[in-house]
Amino acid sequence: MPDPLLSVCIITRGPSRLLEECLVSLRRQVDAPSFEVLVCSNGGPDAATAVHRVLPDAVVGVLDHRPLGSARNAVIERARGDWLVFLDDDVTVQPHLLGRLAELAAEHPDATVLGGPNETPGGSTAFQVTQGAVLASIVTSGPVRRRYGRHPAGGADERYFTLCNLAVRRDAMQPFPDDLLGAEENAVLVQMSRRGFRMHYDPTLVAFHERRPTLRTFARQMFKYGRGRGQFMRKDPASARAAYLAPAALLAYALAAPLLVIELGPLALLPMALYAGVVAAAAAVIGWNLHRSLRCGLLAALLIVVTHVWYGAGTVVGVLDRRRRRRRRRTRPARWSDAPADDVTVASADR
């Protein structure tokens, strides 16, 4: 049997409603090239029965709990496609996504990375919709806002992409580092950029990514993102950019503001006033765009500040993390299942 063009690689914690919705969206692909789907349960229950109920031909694996980079590397080793398509298990895609990937791969034969934005799914709560709009704002996310909204197609770098919607040519793929708590795709893409590999961003490659349901889980996500970025910058200082350090600098300034006022007087609060004005303006734009909602505008202001504070705190923690990598334990190899159980019933594609 010839190798497929695309290998869709998904890491999951086990069976869930979101995983099933992800798989159903893959089952609904129209005019897609040859592709395989690999789903690996990392430290969670075996997902084989749930996966094969939707996609009987999927390859399903089980791993002892590993760092995400190591888990993804295990899936890459099993993949056979020319392109590795990374999706998260809480993502759904439009029916044309894989077909569009094949078109772009043919149109840009020199590209080794393809990807596009992740947007908020339809039917999300007002909190989740506002969260998506906040992440897509230049005030919140700076140059990485392209990950969360549609921007013009063209050449790109690691700031454009995230692992919930990313395709990499297999013969150019670098192993993911297994010592980062986040930003592992950025570490790979930075190395690929330094080797001269070309990357292409296209707004038609859209994935719909489930947003965090509560303020607490959103703050935890931002802290994780910041910590992973901080760890990566500590490991590779040349990867640091002003935009990644700005939230940490803002947090440091806010903590030092009382002392600065004592030393310099009220003038020391001028940067804080300017920041508040910028946040208010950005939040007002978001609220206006979201059905002219004052509530969404106020929520947007809160989420912008939460993003900056918790991402900044995570960055500091990641940069200061002096723990050496733990000695690798002997881990069992992934256990793969290519065929469904006898009692599996395929889900309807119209579900």
Count of structural domains within the chain: 2
pLDDT in tens, 6-41: 999 999 988 999 999 999 999 999 999 999 999 999
pLDDT in tens, 73-83: 999 999 999 99
Residue 351 within a domain: no
CA distance 227 to 240: 13
Q: How far is CA 117 from CA 149, 163, 190, 197, in A?
A: 5, 11, 19, 20
Residue 123 within a domain: yes
Q: Is the pLDDT of residue 44 over 90?
A: no
Contacts of 37 (CB under 8 A, 6+ apart): 8, 10, 23, 26, 51, 55, 57, 58, 59
Shared domain for 195 and 294, answered yes or no, is no
CA distance 125 to 212: 10
Identify the pLDDT of residue 338.
Answer: 66
Given phi > 0 = left and psi -120 to 50 = alpha, else beta, which region is 285? alpha
Q: Mean pLDDT lowest for which of 41-50, 235-244, 265-274, 330-339?
A: 330-339
Identify the pLDDT of residue 20.
Answer: 96
Shared domain for 204 and 116, answered yes or no, is yes
Identify the pLDDT of residue 109.
Answer: 95
Percent of the chain exceeding pLDDT 90 equals: 82
Identify the pLDDT of residue 339.
Answer: 52
Mean pLDDT of 305-334: 80
Q: In terms of Cα–Cα distance, which of 110, 95, 101 is closest to 208?
A: 95
Shared domain for 171 and 258, answered yes or no, is no
Q: Are 89 and 18 in contact (CB under 8 A)?
A: yes
DSSP assignment of 172-208 equals: GPPPPPSS-SS-HHHHHHHHHHHTT-EEEE-TT--EE
Mean pLDDT of 118-147: 96
Identify the pLDDT of residue 64.
Answer: 85
Shared domain for 206 and 246, answered yes or no, is no
Q: Is the pLDDT of residue 189 over 60?
A: yes
Residue 32 within a domain: yes
Residue-range definition of the domain harbouring residue 245 = 231-320
Residue 334 within a domain: no
Shared domain for 129 and 276, answered yes or no, is no
Mean pLDDT of 215-237: 95
Shared domain for 206 and 243, answered yes or no, is no
Q: How confident is the model at residue 323 (pLDDT cuts 50, 70, 90)?
A: low
Q: CA triplet 289, 296, 291: central angle to 5 degrees? A: 35
Residues present in the chain in total: 351
CA distance 221 to 307: 9
Mean pLDDT of 151-180: 93
Q: How confident is the model at residue 170 (pLDDT cuts 50, 70, 90)?
A: very high
Residue 220 within a domain: no
Residue 287 within a domain: yes
Mean pLDDT of 211-238: 95
Q: Is the pLDDT of residue 346 over 80?
A: no
Given phi > 0 = left and psi -120 to 50 = alpha, else beta, which region is 84? beta
Q: How confident is the model at residue 111 (pLDDT cuts 50, 70, 90)?
A: very high
Q: How confident is the model at residue 129 (pLDDT cuts 50, 70, 90)?
A: very high
Residue 99 within a domain: yes
Token digits of residue 264: 């310099």
Shared domain for 205 and 239, answered yes or no, is no
CA distance 223 to 226: 5
Shared domain for 119 and 52, answered yes or no, is yes
Shared domain for 40 and 180, answered yes or no, is yes
Average pLDDT, the chain: 91
Shared domain for 183 and 248, answered yes or no, is no
C-alpha 272: how far from chain center = 30
Residue 105 within a domain: yes
Task: Cite the DSSP H helix spans in 85-209.
Answer: 97-107, 126-135, 138-141, 184-194
Q: Residue 186, CB half-sphere, CA atoms under 13 Å: how many?
A: 24
Shared domain for 160 and 297, answered yes or no, is no
pLDDT in tens, 190-206: 999 999 999 999 999 99
CATH assignment of the domain containing 19: 3.90.550.10
Shared domain for 207 and 237, answered yes or no, is no
Q: Is the pLDDT of residue 349 over 80?
A: no
